[in-house]
Amino acid sequence: MTAQQTELQDLPLDLKPELLPKHVAVIMDGNGRWAKRQGLPRIMGHKAGVDALKNLLRCCDDWGIEALTAYAFSTENWGRPHEEVDFLMTLFQRVLRQELREMMEENVQMKFVGNLSALPRPLQAEISHSMEQTRNNRGIKFTVATNYGGRQEILQACRTIAHKAQQGLLQPDEIDEATFERHLYTQGICDPDLLIRTSGEMRVSNFLLWQIAYAEIYITEALWPDFNRNEFHRALAAYQQRNRRFGKV
């Protein structure tokens, strides 16, 4: 058995390894509704959501998917109740500290994208530490979008490019897609092939607006804490039935 066959030994038999997406992005929606259905406070939904994300990351690694990007906290999420936001910031910090050892053991390379300078300083420190410790890992690339907004990302890229042009460092006719992408938060990360949104909502919510131009979109009614390997299997099976023409015939 080859190394690749060993890595993919848990892949469901109906999925074709050569047709798997290289990069999966997820909008993790429904934590609060899940908690309400269970008769629990909203914060318990967020805790359960962390477990679901950890399980999905391991599943992607087991099944040979190269990259996973998760929408953890949007720029709009600051409008939630202060108690919930404070809990989320503390939860992010605690999970990073607790999970770093396993991330190293599993060779995960972590990256955080978004306006990280607006986050609490202790959380910024944990994020910097996690990225530095895992930057040489060669396993799955795990990106966490935190205080992220797609429109804001595009605006900051435009501002940076405009400043360079103003300073004579860049000519207008030199600005192409590759130039623009180098100024996004996600520079160096390939675009998602598959975008999954849970809880049945039919919108992209300001997530990776540039990057998902040709991503296949899969919507499931499952709430995020209930998104398990079986749900992911269904998403991948649906993806493999798509005909990705990229605007061609």
pLDDT along the chain (249 residues), means of 10: 53 95 98 96 95 97 97 95 94 95 96 96 97 97 97 97 95 94 96 98 97 97 98 98 77
Q: Which residues pair with 23 in a beta bridge?
A: 67
- Residue whose pair of structure tokens reads 């410790």 in the numeric block: 133
pLDDT for 249 equals: 57
- The runs of H, that is alpha helices, within 63-143 are 82-105, 121-134
53 neighbors 29 (Cβ within 8 angstroms): no
Q: Which of the following is catalytic: 55, 62, 77, 115?
A: 77
Whether the full predicted model's pTM is greater than 0.85, yes or no, is yes
Q: Which of the following is catalytic: 29, 61, 191, 193?
A: 29
pLDDT for 243 equals: 87
What is each CA distance from 108 to 23, 51, 66, 104, 136, in whole angstroms? Answer: 14, 16, 10, 6, 9
Active site residue 29: yes
Active site residue 77: yes
Query: For residue 112, how far is the Cα from the chain centroid?
Result: 9
